[in-house]
Structures are given as structure tokens and as C-alpha cells.
């Protein structure tokens, strides 16, 4: 299964490559890892040979184009040399480097005082939560001006552009503490989110994500278009923590299923559905609350159905075939394709096996729900396993999930036992919460 | 008190009668100077109001009479003892009226002035001794005339927003017209008064010369207007003798002014005027004069159709269209002449304006866009009144092409003049004209639009091109629509913007771009605000909604189609809601006014959406959704009764009640019989019935639609069959089902799986034997199902309670968040707010319909 993609698969995968679509909504610096990944795919894993010269060159070209506008001069110079086959980078790069250094120094000078101040305990202890008061205080006691605060922002920006993410994050953090300029604070928050993502500092990235989300919800409520654009960007940025940090999974899924964001995804970037579907499906065993998972599953099915006219790839087609058409054969075919797509995707590579496994569970689940008797042979074909492995797999599954099913070995079938839900049980279920809810209601009225 | 004297006088207002009362009582004051009179009269006014209330208030104040009152009472006593001649009395009245007029002048109350002026003229007739008017009267009318001119002058200068209110404006016009006629009679006296007012007032009556109304020298201020009047009369005389006086280019402006002056008056012979102007148009030499003549001519032609019911005569419409085209061509060739709104009127009739060294343009006041709009409206109106099934209608419809040419030319003209920022052309004009263009395009198929566009561009001179819609765009109707609508999205707001959006959606839906249309409809959020728009826009919204529904149907999306059409078709008032005919309403009172409005709103026939087709689509969709549902409910009668389409249910019930059912005659019969067949599991028969509906042929690619319907009927038939006969089987072989319904066995399995998965069917599949095994013991006893129903109701009650409380507490009660979450989960697929949204929109629509769309009795006229 883990074998290198076949020639056919290769074409299929490139057809579903979302790089271009994703890149529109990501920052330059964030696209870089994606490009690196594509470059890595071109290189043969064992020998380290480059399989496809032209493609590799294209990627290098893309990298160069990407980073040309940043201030990572050394690296850009190297790329340029590689592209042009030069030994020495031309002088313009050195010039630019010099300029960048000059700027950096200038800003550092401008901000040295304020940074120093912020490191002194007596100053920090005097700061309160009120920004305006803080600024007044600093102005009065330490002659800090607005320009100095803004210089922090510029320095952070420059450092980010140089690829010095940790420092940039620090600068922006300081700036945010002091600045009262709401717009710039919002930019700084975005900047910090980018920094944290790029330094893979997921915990704080999640914090920043939350802050950005709040800003979008509150500040931009008057401007639907900007809100849509910001949400689109945030959705894309959130993919990094979603697939790299386990703890981020639930909050980000929650974020994505929030009405505002799910609408954004539907309206503006349906391709996110692939990631969403994978995340939901692989979340199967992990979710603390199976109810939420079921709800998310239902939602994703609904949305995949709605958006089928706009966006389709093997992952969504798998969901469609399985949960809407109940066409198990088609689902199986799509699963194979989906696996290859996952292996060619920067974000999903690590989750491919997980996904396949969860998907099989899903197939089996709905299979069992509908059928009373399934032939083992048929099932193993559905699951893409050989007969013995399938048997073992099913036994494990029955044990794990406590399904009410038995294997009839002689007949070669799995027999499912669907106990009809008793009427009494139904009545009990329906009236279960009644008392509690009425009490709550009474309490609420009494208030 | 003085009521005794003046009881008979009814025309004056309350306040003026007070004044009169006072004057009649204290007559000696009247001999004094006018100014004094006024001031004392004001005091008197207060007094009299005091008097009126004072004595009646309380018993005490009755006796506490103050000084002023007692005086006036004295004078009243005197007055009562004095014996007055009838003439004197009349004279008093006259004086009182005059003072009122003077007072009203001070506060610019033209409404009262007009009244008083009438009264004055009536009074003065009685007082005239040997044709000689009393002097105060002469003074009054002379002053009034001056004041009138002053006000008119002021009016021209003051900006529009500071105009008089409606009553005053009406009064002002009335006085303006009457005073001119009236003053002519007294011209000599007025002249004398003007020469030396004091002397005139002093002089004895006999000294004044007799009035000679026929030959008078007009005073300076009134010269142009009076001259025009004179000219006017001149024409009348000449024409009666049957000789046309020669028109010279020099006199054009005078003629025009005369015609403009007489506009809107009674007894003006519009046809005559138009003939005069046609003559004038021939002699007009300079572009300026030509523009003026054409403008006036076009307006005069529009006046012919100014009645609310009648449309403009055909030949005049055509002439107006030609003249408007000529005007636009003229403006195009003479770029230094512009017709813009808000330009200064040229006052000097003897000269024509010449391009000054500083000026870039000669500006002519007028609004091209208004002419075009009017022309468009007139065409619509005439189309409304013609029977659509005659060749006359088709002939008339060909005029649309020439109208479209004009619209395009107008658009080009506005684009050119907008290039010059100095002219300050409002964006609105351009928006309006683009909207008109859109209105002629949006409901037409792409090929028709293409032809229309090509012809229009052929007419336009070759050198010109439009910045907004370049010439080469004309080949691609979709792109044209896109450009036009986008322009309006960017540059307009409110109704025009909403209309542009709706037109675009309509066009998309017409061209089978369902998802685009639906998404635009949803993102426009119009369903929330549509109730605030005017009726025409609401109608457009309804049309668009219907078109989107039909589009969904063509795509085979039965559920969406039914949902979208539900609001319009389910109401049973399609005709009204789409403005395609007025409905008889049995129990509502319709005033003629409402009926007239309703008739005005009707769309011309060529824009209609075929109602029969619409009904057919709606009923077919309803059938496909309702029959399986009925079958499902039928097996367990206590399931909550869900109704998708009330209209359909009603028809079905009616159909079932009939004892004899003959072969189907109309669309409805076909669908009903198909429904019956489908319910019985005879899908082939159902398909046959549906396919034999003739109206499908009106749809593009009818065969595909029939095939789609056949497929849907097969599937729904299978579902219905399973619902209906499940209780009678233990197992059913999938292969049997597949042969019965001529469906693929995988397809059958998929349908069954879906039903099992959605818990619609208590069954399971056996993969080995390929059968459906129905679970036993699922049928509930009566007690059990009642218990279930009870528990359902109980939980519904709790939920309602919670919701009520939530509304009360503005949703602040967090305890209920649990419920919201679950509801969200339960919501089925394919809704996405579209359904809810559209429905609220529809409800608002229906409300609006309740108040505004009152039908009349004449609906049959436009029935499709």
C-alpha cells in the first residue's frame, strides 16, 4: 500500500493537487514548506536522484519567484545561482543584503530603548491592562513615543520577511501589548499567527488563531466581504495546526463547523472540504464525545452533497458514494484513489494510513447497518483486504466495537443481528429528558 | 356675535371669517389708511378669538369683560344702529378680503390667496358700477401681480428642495393663470395705479378713464409671457381662417414658449400644437433650435397619452421614436450641444444662445433618460392593451427593436457626456438607462438577445463604442448580462441594484445555470428585504423565483424545484404574484383605483412565464414527493402528518372523491391520474400519463426531461411500492424488484439501502441470497403507537415552552443551548438556508400580496 504511486496514480494525484488553490490564501512564507514538499516528492526516496529534471527546475523557479520579494537574501541568491548555474551570486543580492541589514540596524536602534524598558521589571510591573493608560505612563515616565511603538511593528515585519520568525513573533507581541492602533494590532496578530505556525509552536499558534477569530467576528461584522476573505485565509492557515498538532484538532474542527466558517468554505474555498472530510473521518476513534463526531459526520455528508456540483475529489467522492448513494463498490474504488491523493498532499501525508483505516471502519459500519448477512469474501473485497486479513480485521472490529455480529465460518458469512428497537424503549428515550428540562424551565421562569 | 351678519358667506376660511366679522362690526376704521387697518386688524384677530372663547368659558369670566371687548361691543351696538346700504356692505366685504390677501402674501400662503382671490373677483362684479372697479381692488390686484412675479422669480433661483409644498404650489399656479386674464380687463386702471399709486387712490372715480381691455400696453415685467399668450391666440385665429401663417426660424422660440405655456391646460388642442411643431421642425436651422423643437415635440406627443388608461396612439409613438432618434443623432453630431437636467432656461426669445468663448457647451435643459423611459413605458402600456393573440401584437412587438436602438443610443450619449466631469451628469441617469436596457434583455434567450444587439449596433454609427458594453460584447449575451449587471452592482444601490441582481439571476436560470442562479439568489439576501421594495420589484422577484424553480426542474432536481415553486404556486395566486392577469376575488372589495393599479402592473404577454407549464411542473414535482410520503404515512397512520404541498393534496382528494373518472383532459387530470397509478405501484402507467402531457413540448429538450421524469417515476414507484407492500412480505428478492421496475439491481439495492439507513424501512439486506428481509414485530399495536404519539407531543410541548422562554429572555438562557445543537444535527440534507430563506421571503410576499395585490374582475383579458 505504501508503494510509490504508479504512473497512473501520479496523473490522478497531480489532477487533485490543491497547491495552486491553497497558495492563493497562504502567506509567502507558508507556501515555502509546501514547495519544499513538492520538491521532496520529485526526489526519489532511496537513491536521492532527481526523477524529473524539468519539474524540479520548475519548483526551484517557483521558489525563487516566491522568495524574491522577501528579505531572505542569502537563500534567494543561492536559488538564483542554482537556476542560472552560476558560482557566485550577482552583486545586486549583496546590495540588497546590505540594505536589509541597514534597515534592520536602523529599526533595532529605534526600538532598543523600548525593548530595554520592557525588560525592566519595575516598568513591566507598572503596566496594567488598560493600553491607553500604559502608553500614557510610558510617555510620562520614560519618554516613549508612538513612533517607537510603531517601530516595533516595522522591525517585526522586517524580521519576518528575513525568515527570523521567532524574533518577529516576539516583536509583534511587544507591539501588541503597547499599541492602541486597532488595525495594526490586528495585523500584528495575523503576523504572530504566521510566526508561530512557521516555528511550529502550535500551542501559541492556537492562541493566536483564537484571537484572530475573535477579531474577525467582532471588527469586521460590518463588512461581509472582508469578513469572508479573512475567514478564508484563517481557514487555510488553520490547516497547519489541524494536521500537525493533535490537541488543535477538536477546536479547529469546531471552528470549521461554525456557521460562519462552514459558509465561507462553501462559498469561497470548497477544496477545504477534502481536509475537513479527512479530519472528521480520522477523528473517529479520538473524539471524546461520539455524539459530536456523529453530528460532524452528518454535517460533512450534507455539505459534500451540496457542494458536489462545485468540488469533487476522491475523498469527497468517497463520502458521497458511501453515505449518500450507498454504492459500496464505488466507495471502495474512491478509497484507493483517495489514499494516493493523501500521500501526495502536504498536509495529509502523515494521515494517509489513519484515514484508510477509519474509512474501512466507516464502510463496515454502514454495511452492517443495512445488511443482515454479508459474505466474507465480498466484504474482504470491499475493504480491500485478503480473506484472512479481513476475517481477522472483522473479529477485531466486533470485539472492539461490540457489534452484535457473528461469523459463520462454514457458510463464509458474517451474520448481523439487528435487534428491533422496542417501542417501550423508544417511549422511554423520548420522555427521558422531560423532567429535567421542565425543571430547568421552571427555574428559569422563577429567576 | 357678528355671525349674524356674515352667516351666508361660505367660501372663506375660518380665520378670514373672523377678520371679516371684526371689520363688519368696526366699520369706521375702514376709512383709515390701509397699513393701520392691517395692524389693528391683527390685534382684532386676537381679540376676536378671545371673544369667541372668553364669554363661553365660565360664568365668571362672562362678566369680567376686559376693556377691548367692551369697546368692540360698543362699536357693535353702533354698527347695529347704523343703517348701511347694500353697496356699503359689499364694499366692506371687499375690503376684508383684500386685507386677507395682503396678510397671506406676507406668509406666502398661496393656497389661501388663490381662494381669496376667487372670492374677491366674485365680490367685485357686484360692486362694479358702470364697468369701473373699486380702487382698493385695483390696488390689490396690482400688488398681487407684482408679488406673484417676485415669487416666481424667487422660485427659479431657489434650489429644488426648497420648493413650495403641494397646496401652495397649486395655489400659486392657479393665481398665476387667473390673474393674467383678470388683470387684462383692468389694465388701464392698473397702469394708472402703477404710475402714481397715491394719486390714483386719491383721485376721484370719474377721473379715471374707462377700461379698454382690448388694446393695452403690457407692462415690462410680464412682457414675454403676455406676448406668448397673445401669440397663442393669434394662432387660434389664423387657423380658424384656414390660413397657416409662415413660420420663420426667428419665431420658433416664441412659438415653443407659447406651446410650453399652454401645456397641461384645458382646451388646448394638442394635435394642433403638434402640427405646428412639425412645421417648426422643418424650418429650424441651427442645432439649438432643432433640439428645442424636438424636445418640445416629443413631450407634446407624450402628453397625448397622459391619461391613465389609454395608451399613446400608435402613429404618435412611432413619430416620437423617430424624433427621439433624430434628437440623439443630432446630439451625437453636434458635440457642443448637450441636453442635461438642471440647465438654465434660455429666456431671450429673440436670440438663440451662441457658444461663448469660455463655454464648452450650449446646455439645453431636458432629460434624455426620461424621454426614453417614457417611450418605453408607453410601449409597454400599448402592449398591455392589445390582445396578445392578434397579429397587431406581433407588429407592435417589432417596435421593441427600435426602442432598444434608442436605449442603446441614449446609453452611448450619456457615456459621452459623462466623460466630461464638468457637466456633472449624475450617475443615476446612466443607471436608469442601463436598467432599461437590462429590462429588455433579461427574459430573452441568448440567441434573441444576440440578434437584438447586433441590429442595435448596426444602427449606431460605426465610429462609436461603449465603454461599459463594448461592441464586440454583443455576440455573447451571457457576457453582456454579466457586464451590465456588474456595472449596476458597482454603481448603484437600492432598487436598481436589487433589480439588476434579479435580472441576472433570471437570465442565469433561463439558461440552465441552476447552481449559479441559486447561489446568487441565496447570497443576495433579497428574500429578507424584498418586502420593503416596490411592487414591480416584488413581481420581478417572484418571476425570478419561479424561473429558478423551473431551472431546477430541468436539471432533475425535483426536491429543489418543488421547494422553490412552493411559495408561488402553493398560494394559488400565481397570476397575481407574477402580474400575469388579475384574479377574481370573491370576498374582497376592490376599489376601481386598486383595480386600475393592478392592471397597470400587468406584464405584456411576451414576458409571461407559461402558467400552465408552471402548474404542470409544480404538480409533477409534488407528485414525486408526495406519493411516497403518502404511502409511508399510510402504513402507520399515527406518524406526524407531514404535508409538502397543500394545493396538491387538495386536488388529489378532490380527484379521489369523484365517482367516475374519464380519460384525462387537462394537465391537472393527467397528473392526478398518474398519481393514482403511481400510488398503486403502476409506474409504467404513471409514466405514460405524465408523458402524454402536451405542454412538455414547450420546454427546450423535452425528450430529455421526459426521460428524466421516467427515471424519477421508476425510483419513486419503487419506494412507494416498498412502503405500501412491506407489511405483507417477509422477504423480497432484489432481482424481482429490479425486473418489476426495470431498474438495475445495484440501483435497487442502493435505493433500499438508503431507505434502511434513513430508518424509513424496517428491513435489512441479505447479501448472500440477495433479498430484502423485512423485520417482524415492527407494526405497533394501537396502544403502542398512541403512546409514541403522546411522547412525541410531550417533547414537542417542552420544546415549545423552551423556545417561548428563549424569545422572552432574548436567548440569554444558556440552559437551552443543548437543544439548538441537536436541532442543527437533525436538519436534513440539501436545505442550507435556501429553503428557510426562500420561504420567509415568500411569506412576506404573500403578506404584501394581501394588502396590495387585490385582484379585479378583468383578469381573463390576459389569460395565457
Which is more confidently placed, A185 or B780? A185
Cell of B752: 433500499
CB–CB of B767 and A373 under 8 A?
yes
Q: What is the pairing mode between strands A405-408 and A371-375?
A: unpaired
Q: Which residue of B has its CA nearest to A373?
A: B766
Contacts of B791 in chain A (CB under 8 A): 426-427, 430-431
Residue among B443, B478, B481, B473 at smallest CA distance from B456: B473
Q: For B231-271, how does the pLDDT look when each residue is reduced to its tens digit (9 = 90+)?
A: 444 444 344 334 445 566 667 777 777 777 776 666 666 67
Which H or E run contains A122?
Answer: helix A121-125
Q: Would you say residue A59 has pLDDT above 80?
A: no
Q: For A207-223, how does the pLDDT look when each residue is reduced to its tens digit (9 = 90+)?
A: 888 888 888 888 777 77
Which is more confidently placed, B453 or A146? B453
Q: Would you say residue A310 has pLDDT above 70?
A: yes
B279, B252 Cβ separation under 8 angstroms? no
What pLDDT, on the 0 to 100 scale, is given for residue B618?
A: 92
Q: Would you say residue A143 has pLDDT above 80?
A: no
Q: List the domain boundaries for chain B.
A: 3-219
State the number of CA atoms in the 13 A half-sphere of A235 facing the CB: 32
B783 touches chain A (CB under 8 A): no
Q: For A328-341, how does the pLDDT look when each residue is reduced to its tens digit (9 = 90+)?
A: 888 888 888 888 88
Report the 3 state secondary structure along B779-822. CCCHHHHHHHHHHHHHHHHHHHHHHHHHHHCCCCCHHHHHHHHH
CB–CB of B821 and A295 under 8 A?
yes
SS3 content of chain A, % helix, strand, coil (to 5): 75, 5, 20
Q: Which residue of A has its CA nearest to B757?
A: A370
Q: Report the residue from B756, B791, B830 with minimal CB separation from A431.
A: B791
**DSSP β-bridge partners for residue A50:** A43
Long-range contacts from B279-287, C-beta under 8 angstroms, 24+ separation: B279/B244, B279/B247, B280/B247, B280/B252, B280/B255, B280/B256, B281/B323, B283/B247, B283/B248, B283/B249, B283/B252, B284/B249, B284/B252, B285/B249, B286/B249, B286/B352, B287/B330, B287/B334, B287/B337
Cell of A332: 471502495
A325 touches chain B (CB under 8 A): yes
B795 touches chain A (CB under 8 A): yes
Q: Which residue of A has its CA nearest to B524?
A: A224
CB atoms within 10 A of CB A435: 10
Which is more confidently placed, B378 or B818? B378
Q: Would you say residue B352 has pLDDT above 70?
A: no
What is the distance of C-alpha B337 from the center of its chain? 33
Residue A319's contacts (CB-CB under 8 Å, 6 or more residues apart) are A277, A281, A300, A301, A304
CB–CB of A371 and B766 under 8 A?
yes
Length of chain A: 447
Which is more confidently placed, A13 or A146? A146
B592 touches chain A (CB under 8 A): no
Which is more confidently placed, B667 or A8? B667
CB–CB of B756 and A370 under 8 A?
yes
Best mutation target among B768, B811, B818 (most A Cβ atoms within 10 Å) is B768
Q: Report the residue from B784, B798, B821 with minimal CB separation from A434.
A: B798
Q: Would you say residue A163 has pLDDT above 70?
A: yes
User: Would you place residue A73 in the very low, low, confident or very high pLDDT band (cuts 50, 70, 90)?
Assistant: confident
Q: For A294-308, how does the pLDDT look when each residue is reduced to its tens digit (9 = 90+)?
A: 888 888 888 888 888
Q: Would you say residue B69 has pLDDT above 80?
A: no
CB–CB of B794 and A374 under 8 A?
no
What pLDDT, on the 0 to 100 scale, is given for residue B546?
A: 92
What pLDDT, on the 0 to 100 scale, is given for residue B346?
A: 67
B762 touches chain A (CB under 8 A): yes
A437 touches chain B (CB under 8 A): yes
The mean per-residue pLDDT over the stretch A187-214 comes to 85
8-state DSSP, A43: B
Contacts of B752 in chain A (CB under 8 A): 370
Q: For B406-431, how does the pLDDT look when each residue is reduced to its tens digit (9 = 90+)?
A: 888 888 888 888 877 777 778 888 88
Q: Which residue of A has its CA nearest to B513?
A: A309
CA distances to A238, A297, A352, B582 from A400, rounded to whole Å, are 33, 21, 22, 68
Contacts of A434 in chain B (CB under 8 A): 794-795, 798
8-state DSSP, B129: B
Gap between the Cα atoms of B15 and B38, Å rounded: 14
A413 touches chain B (CB under 8 A): yes
CB–CB of B775 and A420 under 8 A?
yes
Q: Report the residue from B752, B788, B821 with minimal CB separation from A423.
A: B788
Q: Which residue of B has its CA nearest to A371?
A: B765
Q: Would you say residue B64 has pLDDT above 80?
A: no
Contacts of B519 in chain A (CB under 8 A): 267
Q: Would you say residue B311 has pLDDT above 80?
A: no
B754 touches chain A (CB under 8 A): yes
B801 touches chain A (CB under 8 A): yes
A440 touches chain B (CB under 8 A): yes
B183, B190 Cβ separation under 8 angstroms? yes
A329: distance to nearest CA of chain B, Å?
A: 10
CB–CB of A372 and B784 under 8 A?
no
Q: For A383-401, how does the pLDDT look when each residue is reduced to its tens digit (9 = 90+)?
A: 777 778 888 888 887 777 6
Residue among B280, B239, B245, B287 at smallest CA distance from B260: B280
A444 touches chain B (CB under 8 A): yes
Average pLDDT over chain A, rounded to an integer: 79
A420 touches chain B (CB under 8 A): yes
B803 touches chain A (CB under 8 A): no
A438 touches chain B (CB under 8 A): yes
CB–CB of B802 and A441 under 8 A?
yes
CB–CB of B815 and A444 under 8 A?
yes
Best mutation target among B767, B769, B835 (most A Cβ atoms within 10 Å) is B767
A255: distance to nearest CA of chain B, Å?
A: 15
The mean per-residue pLDDT over the stretch A47-55 comes to 61
Q: For B135-174, how does the pLDDT look when each residue is reduced to its tens digit (9 = 90+)?
A: 777 777 777 777 777 777 776 665 554 455 667 777 777 7
CB–CB of B802 and A437 under 8 A?
yes
Q: Would you say residue B558 has pLDDT above 80?
A: yes
What pLDDT, on the 0 to 100 scale, is given for residue B621?
A: 92
CB–CB of A369 and B784 under 8 A?
no
Cell of B148: 406673484
Q: Report the residue from A294, A375, A431 with minimal CB separation from B794.
A: A431
Cell of B754: 438508503
Contacts of B794 in chain A (CB under 8 A): 430-431, 434
CB–CB of A305 and B767 under 8 A?
no
Contacts of A433 in chain B (CB under 8 A): 795, 798
What pLDDT, on the 0 to 100 scale, is given for residue B600?
A: 78
What pLDDT, on the 0 to 100 scale, is given for residue B836?
A: 34
Q: Would you say residue B61 has pLDDT above 70?
A: no
Amino acid at each position: 500500500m505504501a508503494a510509490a504511486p504508479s504512473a497512473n496514480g501520479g496523473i490522478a494525484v497531480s489532477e487533485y493537487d490543491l497547491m495552486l488553490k491553497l497558495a492563493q490564501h497562504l502567506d509567502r512564507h507558508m507556501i515555502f514548506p509546501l514547495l519544499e514538499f513538492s520538491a521532496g516528492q520529485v526526489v526519489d526516496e532511496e537513491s536521492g536522484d532527481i526523477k524529473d529534471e524539468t519539474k524540479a527546475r520548475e519548483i526551484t523557479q517557483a521558489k525563487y519567484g516566491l522568495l524574491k520579494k522577501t528579505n531572505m537574501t542569502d537563500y534567494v541568491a543561492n536559488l538564483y545561482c542554482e537556476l542560472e548555474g552560476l558560482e557566485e551570486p550577482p552583486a545586486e543580492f549583496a546590495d540588497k543584503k546590505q540594505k536589509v541589514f541597514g534597515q534592520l540596524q536602523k529599526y533595532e536602534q529605534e526600538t532598543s530603548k523600548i525593548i530595554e524598558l520592557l525588560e525592566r521589571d519595575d516598568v513591566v510591573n507598572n503596566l496594567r491592562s488598560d493600553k491607553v493608560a500604559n502608553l500614557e505612563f510610558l510617555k510620562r515616565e520614560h519618554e516613549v513615543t508612538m513612533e517607537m511603538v510603531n517601530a516595533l511593528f516595522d522591525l517585526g515585519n522586517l524580521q519576518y520577511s528575513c525568515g527570523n520568525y521567532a524574533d518577529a513573533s516576539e516583536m509583534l507581541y511587544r507591539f501588541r501589548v503597547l499599541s492602541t492602533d486597532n488595525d495594526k494590532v490586528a495585523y500584528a496578530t495575523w503576523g504572530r499567527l504566521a510566526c508561530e505556525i512557521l516555528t511550529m509552536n502550535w500551542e501559541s499558534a492556537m492562541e493566536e488563531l483564537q484571537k484572530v477569530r475573535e477579531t474577525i467576528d467582532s471588527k469586521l461584522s460590518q463588512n461581509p466581504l472582508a469578513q469572508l476573505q479573512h475567514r478564508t485565509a484563517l481557514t487555510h492557515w488553520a490547516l497547519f495546526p489541524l494536521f500537525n498538532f493533535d490537541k488543535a484538532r477538536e477546536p479547529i474542527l469546531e471552528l470549521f463547523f461554525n456557521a460562519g466558517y462552514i459558509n465561507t468554505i462553501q462559498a469561497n474555498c470548497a477544496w477545504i472540504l477534502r481536509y475537513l472530510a479527512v479530519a472528521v473521518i480520522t477523528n473517529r476513534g479520538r473524539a471524546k464525545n461520539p455524539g459530536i463526531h456523529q453530528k460532524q459526520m452528518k454535517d460533512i455528508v450534507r455539505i459534500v452533497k451540496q457542494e458536489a456540483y462545485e468540488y469533487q475529489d476522491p475523498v469527497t467522492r468517497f463520502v458521497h458514494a458511501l453515505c449518500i448513494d450507498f454504492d459500496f463498490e464505488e466507495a471502495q474504488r474512491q478509497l484507493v484513489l483517495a489514499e494516493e491523493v493523501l500521500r501526495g498532499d502536504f498536509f495529509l501525508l502523515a494521515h494517509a494510513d489513519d484515514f484508510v483505516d477509519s474509512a474501512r471502519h466507516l464502510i463496515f459500519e454502514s454495511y452492517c447497518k443495512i445488511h443482515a448477512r454479508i459474505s466474507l469474501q465480498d466484504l474482504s473485497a470491499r475493504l480491500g483486504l485478503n480473506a484472512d486479513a479481513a476475517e481477522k480485521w472483522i473479529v477485531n472490529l466486533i470485539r472492539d466495537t461490540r457489534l452484535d455480529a457473528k461469523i459463520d465460518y462454514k457458510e463464509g458469512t458474517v451474520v448481523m443481528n439487528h435487534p428491533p428497537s422496542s417501542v417501550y424503549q423508544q417511549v422511554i428515550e423520548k420522555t427521558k429528558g422531560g423532567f429535567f428540562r421542565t425543571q430547568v424551565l421552571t427555574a428559569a421562569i422563577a429567576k | 356675535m357678528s355671525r349674524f351678519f356674515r352667516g351666508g358667506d361660505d367660501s372663506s376660511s375660518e380665520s378670514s371669517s373672523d377678520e371679516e366679522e371684526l371689520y363688519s362690526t368696526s366699520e369706521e376704521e375702514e376709512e383709515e389708511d390701509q397699513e393701520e387697518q392691517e395692524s389693528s386688524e391683527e390685534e382684532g384677530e386676537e381679540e376676536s378669538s378671545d371673544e369667541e372663547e372668553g364669554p363661553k368659558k365660565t360664568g365668571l369670566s362672562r362678566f369680567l369683560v376686559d376693556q377691548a371687548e367692551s369697546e368692540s361691543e360698543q362699536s357693535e351696538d353702533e354698527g347695529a344702529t347704523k343703517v348701511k346700504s347694500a353697496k356699503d356692505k359689499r364694499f366692506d366685504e371687499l375690503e376684508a378680503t383684500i386685507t386677507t390677501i395682503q396678510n397671506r402674501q406676507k406668509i406666502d400662503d398661496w393656497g389661501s390667496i388663490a381662494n381669496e382671490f376667487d372670492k374677491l373677483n366674485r365680490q367685485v362684479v357686484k360692486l362694479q358700477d358702470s364697468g369701473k372697479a373699486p380702487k382698493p381692488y385695483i390696488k390689490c390686484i396690482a400688488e398681487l401681480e407684482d408679488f406673484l412675479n417676485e415669487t416666481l422669480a424667487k422660485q427659479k433661483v431657489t434650489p429644488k428642495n426648497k420648493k413650495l409644498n403641494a397646496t401652495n404650489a397649486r395655489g400659486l399656479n392657479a393665481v398665476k393663470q387667473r390673474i393674467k386674464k383678470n388683470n387684462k380687463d383692468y389694465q388701464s386702471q392698473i397702469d394708472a395705479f402703477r404710475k402714481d399709486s397715491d394719486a390714483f387712490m386719491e383721485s376721484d372715480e370719474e377721473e379715471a378713464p374707462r377700461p379698454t381691455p382690448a388694446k393695452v400696453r403690457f407692462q415690462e415685467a410680464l412682457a414675454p409671457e403676455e406676448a406668448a399668450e397673445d401669440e397663442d391666440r393669434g394662432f387660434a385665429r389664423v387657423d380658424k381662417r384656414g390660413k397657416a401663417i409662415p413660420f420663420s426660424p426667428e419665431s420658433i422660440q416664441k412659438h415653443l414658449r407659447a406651446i410650453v405655456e399652454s401645456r397641461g391646460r384645458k382646451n388646448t388642442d394638442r394635435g394642433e400644437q403638434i402640427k405646428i411643431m412639425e412645421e417648426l421642425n422643418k424650418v429650424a436651422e441651427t442645432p439649438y433650435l432643432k433640439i428645442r423643437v424636438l424636445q418640445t415635440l416629443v413631450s407634446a406627443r407624450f402628453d397625448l397619452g397622459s391619461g391613465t388608461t389609454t395608451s399613446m396612439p400608435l402613429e404618435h409613438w412611432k413619430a416620437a421614436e423617430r424624433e427621439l432618434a433624430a434628437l440623439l443623432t443630432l446630439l451625437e453630431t453636434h458635440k457642443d450641444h448637450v441636453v442635461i437636467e438642471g440647465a438654465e432656461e434660455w429666456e431671450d426669445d429673440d436670440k438663440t444662445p451662441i457658444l461663448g468663448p469660455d463655454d464648452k457647451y450650449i446646455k439645453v435643459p431636458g432629460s434624455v433618460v426620461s424621454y426614453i423611459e417614457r417611450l418605453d413605458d408607453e410601449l409597454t402600456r400599448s402592449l398591455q392593451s392589445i390582445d396578445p393573440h392578434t397579429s397587431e401584437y406581433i407588429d407592435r412587438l417589432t417596435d421593441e427593436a427600435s426602442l432598444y436602438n434608442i436605449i442603446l443610443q441614449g446609453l452611448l450619449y450619456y457615456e459621452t457626456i459623462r466623460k466630461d466631469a464638468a457637466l456633472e451628469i449624475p450617475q443615476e441617469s446612466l443607471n436608469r438607462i442601463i436598467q432599461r436596457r437590462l429590462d429588455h434583455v433579461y427574459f430573452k434567450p441568448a440567441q434573441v438577445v444576440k440578434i437584438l444587439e447586433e441590429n442595435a449596433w448596426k444602427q449606431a454609427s460605426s465610429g462609436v463604442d461603449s465603454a461599459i458594453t463594448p461592441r464586440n460584447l454583443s455576440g455573447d449575451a451571457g457576457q453582456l448580462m454579466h457586464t451590465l449587471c456588474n456595472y449596476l452592482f458597482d454603481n448603484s444601490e437600492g432598487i436598481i441594484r436589487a433589480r439588476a441582481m434579479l435580472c441576472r439571476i433570471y437570465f442565469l436560470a433561463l439558461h440552465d445555470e441552476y447552481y449559479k442562479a441559486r447561489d446568487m439568489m441565496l447570497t443576495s439576501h433579497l428574500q429578507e428585504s424584498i418586502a420593503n421594495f416596490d411592487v414591480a420589484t416584488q413581481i420581478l422577484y417572484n418571476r425570478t423565483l419561479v424561473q429558478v424553480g423551473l431551472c431546477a426542474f430541468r436539471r432533475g432536481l425535483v426536491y429543489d424545484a418543488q421547494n422553490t415553486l412552493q411559495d408561488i404556486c402553493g398560494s394559488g395566486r400565481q397570476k397575481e404574484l407574477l402580474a400575469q392577469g388579475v384574479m377574481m376575488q370573491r370576498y374582497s372589495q376592490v376599489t376601481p383605483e386598486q383595480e386600475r393599479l393592478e392592471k397597470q402592473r400587468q406584464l405584456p404577454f411576451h414576458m409571461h412565464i407559461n402558467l400552465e407549464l408552471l402548474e404542470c411542473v409544480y404538480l409533477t414535482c409534488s407528485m414525486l414527493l408526495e406519493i411516497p410520503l403518502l404511502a409511508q404515512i399510510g402504513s402507520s397512520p399515527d406518524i406526524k402528518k407531514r404535508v409538502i404541498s397543500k394545493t396538491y393534496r387538495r386536488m388529489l382528494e378532490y380527484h379521489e372523491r369523484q365517482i367516475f373518472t374519464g380519460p384525462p383532459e387537462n394537465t391537472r387530470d393527467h397528473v392526478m391520474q398518474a398519481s393514482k397509478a403511481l400510488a398503486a405501484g403502476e409506474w409504467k402507467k404513471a409514466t405514460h400519463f405524465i408523458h402524454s402531457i402536451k405542454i412538455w413540448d414547450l420546454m427546450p429538450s423535452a425528450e430529455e426531461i421526459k426521460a428524466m421524469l421516467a427515471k424519477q417515476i421508476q425510483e419513486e414507484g419503487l419506494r412507494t411500492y416498498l412502503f405500501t407492500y412491506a407489511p405483507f412480505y417477509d422477504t423480497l428478492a432484489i432481482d424481482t424488484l429490479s425486473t418489476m421496475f426495470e431498474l438495475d439491481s445495484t440501483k435497487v439495492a442502493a435505493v433500499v439501502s438508503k431507505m434502511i439507513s434513513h430508518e424509513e424501512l424496517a428491513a435489512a439486506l441479505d447479501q448472500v441470497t440477495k433479498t430484502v428481509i423485512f423485520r417482524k414485530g415492527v407494526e405497533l399495536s394501537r396502544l403502542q403507537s398512541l403512546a409514541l404519539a403522546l411522547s412525541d407531543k410531550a417533547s414537542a410541548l417542552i420544546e415549545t415552552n423552551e423556545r417561548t422562554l428563549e424569545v422572552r429572555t432574548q436567548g440569554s438562557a444558556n440552559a437551552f443551548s443543548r437543544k439548538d445543537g441537536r436541532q442543527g444535527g437533525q436538519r436534513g440534507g440539501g436545505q442550507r438556508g435556501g429553503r428557510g430563506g426562500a420561504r420567509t421571503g415568500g411569506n412576506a410576499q404573500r403578506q404584501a400580496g394581501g394588502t396590495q395585490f387585490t385582484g379585479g374582475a378583468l383578469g381573463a383579458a390576459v389569460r395565457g
